[in-house]
Amino acid sequence: MPTPDPLGRFPAVRLRRSRRYAWSRALVAETRLSPADLIWPVFVCEGSGRSEPIASLPGVERQSVDRLPHAVAEAIELGIPAIALFPATPAERKTPDAREAWNPENLMCCALRAVKQAHGEAIGLVADVALDPYSSHGQDGLVIDGYVANDETLAALAQQALVQAEAGCDIIAPSDMMDGRIGHLRAALDGAGFERVALMAYAAKYASAYYGPFRDAVGSAGALGKADKKTYQMDPANGDEALREVALDLAEGADMVMVKPGQPYLDIVSRVKREFGAPTFAYQVSGEYAQIAAAAERGWLDREGAMLESLIAFKRAGADGVLTYFALEAARALQAG
């Protein structure tokens, strides 16, 4: 046992004093998490009155367009500021050129119109721009001579972004990782009178093993097969390269940037926020969610505790917001105190 100093003041500094009570811990908390920090990714399927569970994402469902306004109403009530929509396009509508992506009556556009008509400006609508939900090969861009072609893909992405903007999208979120796509999309949107539509760039999107459940959810896993996306998504070994990607996207007109996946790349989130000071988001991707959900199902983790701890980690690293499948659940827990 340590020997006290002559005045009996050992130790003079006791950090545990501020940890003793819940109120004192709240008083000195350095990082805050609220529902306003969350963006809810929502999967959309065809049909009416449908809600389809996703086996690899326990607790997450695909919902038909007619069910969306009711689901989104809860998000609004909970204080969630935005949702991100992802379509599960039927296989028969997928083609090598992914032309369904710019069909103004596709699932994405119908979903955008339905939510916008029901809720107006009460919640922000984020729309993914990439070809993988619509391509028969599962790649994010057009495949020419066995290679995902960059410049040819840009024209397709612009057409996709324009129909989404026309349908009521507030934030276009390109996840394709083609070079130059932010500048190309900004020019296309501005030229069509959509200068108020924001761009959230998936600026540092890694070729990750954590995307599997998402690909199940949108039905691209089977199309992709044993192929990969390493020629355009980032190498997990690289950090400095992420800063170059972010710098390019901001210079081309991105309003906000994203790091994806999230928790395995918290160092990148922190570096991006410190380097640029721009609005920075992280995507807690499907594999991250599935790990917590599966462990909790087996009693290996406390679901709510692990969920909230994982989300506060994003904020502590510097993220301004988090896309997470836990959004509704986390917002309920935060409101309950």
Q: For residue 11, what pLDDT is reported?
A: 85
State yes or no: pLDDT of 96 exceeds 80. Answer: yes
* Contacts of range 61-70, beta carbons closer than 8 Å, 24 or more positions apart: 62/88, 62/217, 65/107, 65/110, 65/111, 65/114, 66/114, 68/42, 68/44, 68/111, 68/114, 68/115, 68/118, 69/114, 69/115, 69/117, 69/118, 69/119
Q: For residue 95, what pLDDT is reported?
A: 95
92 labeled part of a ligand binding site:
no
Q: For residue 139, what pLDDT is reported?
A: 94
pLDDT more than 70, % of the chain = 98
Class of domain 34-336: alpha beta
User: What is the three-class DSSP state of 134?
Assistant: coil
User: What is the three-class DSSP state of 174?
Assistant: strand
Residue type, 285: V
226 catalytic residue (yes or no): no
Q: For residue 41, what pLDDT is reported?
A: 97
Which residue is catalytic, options 94, 116, 229, 260?
Answer: 260
Half-sphere exposure of 161 (CA within 13 A, CB side): 35
State yes or no: pLDDT of 4 exceeds 70. Answer: no
How is residue 285 written in tokens? 């991707």
Which residue is catalytic, options 205, 229, 273, 315?
Answer: 205
Q: For residue 218, what pLDDT is reported?
A: 83
Q: For residue 216, what pLDDT is reported?
A: 84
Whole-prediction pTM value? 0.94
User: Please, what is the Cα angle at 248 between 246 and 252, to 5 degrees?
Assistant: 115
The C-alpha atoms of residue 267 and residue 192 are separated, in whole angstroms, by: 38
Tens of pLDDT along 277-311? 999 999 999 999 999 999 999 999 999 999 999 99
For β-strands 280-284 and 321-324, DSSP reports them as parallel
Which positions ≥6 away from 176 have C-beta within 8 Å? 129, 130, 131, 140, 141, 153, 157, 202, 232
Q: Are 176 and 201 in contact (CB under 8 A)?
A: no
Domain layout of the chain by residue ranges = 34-336
Q: Are 69 and 118 in contact (CB under 8 A)?
A: yes
Q: Are 220 and 190 in contact (CB under 8 A)?
A: no
Q: Are 183 and 253 in contact (CB under 8 A)?
A: yes
94 catalytic residue (yes or no): no
User: Please, what is the Cα angle at 257 between 253 and 262, to 5 degrees?
Assistant: 165
